């Protein structure tokens, strides 16, 4: 038996995680993080989510606390997200929330309060590998969240419990229903928690900064084919909102140049890339960095296709894909998995501008 602090978001996954740990005989305490001080209706920061977590804890017979980390959330998640977008990058706030808040600030508080471990409801697993704990994909491929946890190090994994990683989502909901938990049929959170669905991304950013009007240009002909009123919110690789070519061919964003007020678009086959430069300061490895070129499997979005590539350091870190791939926006995270054990996470990094 260990003393476990369970991060309870008010969703079904963390509810069942707490329930499984109670059933296993652990000394469980629930904690909900108050992160966003503004309006929220689309994530895990609303008043209703806190109430759901509290009532699930009551149902399970465990203590429940609310930890206010709104200042840390603004400093380490919201402000960098906004600054990154305004600089033409596409950061992932959910990854930064996990890295800077849940597995940094919360871990530190749990240690100071005398807990042996922290548990969450992520669909991923902690498994033994080469004599050390390793992060592995969750059993449910449609819900796997190892991508957003790719920055976790071995010393953190020693004190992390992921109780639902071995379950399919349908089984998580069925277990919650058997336990009589009010969250059993609650929809999954889909959007950034601090941008209300009633507001939208563009209005959210316009309340914080002026956005750039830019021409949308066909990269092959140089012809101006449209205008964007918020170029900072356009992402490399994006197809949504991009008009097709005259021949009906789908076009994708290949480059965003805020200084020149120019967005270049083209057919997918013309904008494919073979290499990504990585932000040196962002690279994290679960164990030790490879001493030479290493073949890895790379995932560049939460549910993106995994591709073989060579992780290289020739002056600076980069990824060389074994076949051309869709471009990945600067600021996005890439996560490396082992080739011989493709469920095991090796590390992660952010794509450089």
What Å distances lie between residue 172 and 166, 216, 223, 226, CA to CA? 10, 45, 52, 46
97 is catalytic: yes
- Is residue 277 a contact partner of residue 351, using CB atoms and an 8 Å limit? yes
**Out of 44, 45, 94, 97, which one is annotated catalytic?**
97
Q: How far apart are CA 163 and CA 349, in angstroms?
A: 26
Strands 27-34 and 3-7: parallel
The token pair that represents 221 in the structure block: 């002909």
Exposure string for 124-143, b = 16+ CB within 10 A, e = fewer? bbbbebeeebbbbbbbbeeb
Q: How far apart are CA 309 and CA 35, in angstroms?
A: 37
- Is residue 73 a contact partner of residue 228, using CB atoms and an 8 Å limit? no
Beta strands in the chain (DSSP E): 3-7, 27-34, 63-68, 117-119, 124-129, 132-137, 160-161, 214-218, 224-228, 251-257, 262-267, 273-277, 284-285, 294-299, 307-313, 317-325, 333-338, 345-350
Catalytically active residues, by annotation: 97, 193
């Amino acid at each position: 038996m260990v003393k476990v602090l369970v991060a309870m978001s008010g969703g079904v996954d963390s509810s069942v995680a707490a329930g499984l740990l109670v059933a296993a005989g652990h000394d469980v305490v629930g904690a909900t993080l108050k992160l966003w001080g503004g309006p929220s209706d689309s994530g895990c920061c609303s008043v209703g989510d806190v109430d759901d977590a509290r009532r699930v804890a009551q149902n399970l017979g465990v203590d429940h606390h609310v930890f206010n980390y709104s200042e840390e959330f603004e400093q380490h998640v919201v402000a960098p997200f906004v600054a990154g977008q305004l600089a033409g990058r596409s950061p992932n706030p959910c990854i930064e929330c996990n890295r800077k808040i849940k597995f940094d600030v919360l871990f530190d508080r749990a240690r100071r309060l005398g807990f042996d471990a922290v548990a969450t409801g992520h669909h991923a697993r902690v498994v033994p590998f080469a004599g050390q704990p390793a992060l592995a994909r969750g059993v449910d491929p449609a819900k796997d969240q190892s991508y957003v946890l790719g920055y976790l190090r071995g010393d953190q994994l020693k004190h992390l419990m992921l109780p639902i990683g071995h379950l399919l989502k349908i089984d998580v909901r069925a277990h919650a229903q058997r336990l009589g938990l009010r969250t059993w049929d609650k929809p999954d959170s889909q959007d950034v928690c601090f941008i209300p669905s009633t507001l939208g991304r563009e209005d959210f950013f316009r309340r914080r900064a002026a956005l750039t009007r830019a021409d949308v240009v066909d990269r092959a002909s140089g012809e101006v084919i449209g205008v964007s009123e918020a170029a900072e919110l356009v992402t490399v690789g994006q197809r949504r909102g991009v008009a097709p070519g005259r021949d009906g061919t789908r076009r994708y964003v290949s480059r965003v140049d805020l200084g020149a007020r120019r967005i270049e678009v083209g057919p997918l086959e013309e904008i494919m890339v073979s290499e990504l430069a990585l932000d040196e300061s962002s690279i994290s490895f679960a164990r030790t960095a490879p001493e030479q070129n290493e073949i890895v499997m790379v995932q560049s979005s939460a549910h993106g296709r995994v591709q073989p590539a060579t992780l290289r350091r020739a002056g600076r870190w980069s990824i060389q894909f074994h076949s051309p791939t869709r471009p990945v926006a600067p600021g996005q995270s890439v996560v490396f998995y082992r080739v011989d054990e493709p469920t095991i996470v090796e590390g992660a990094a952010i794509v450089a501008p």
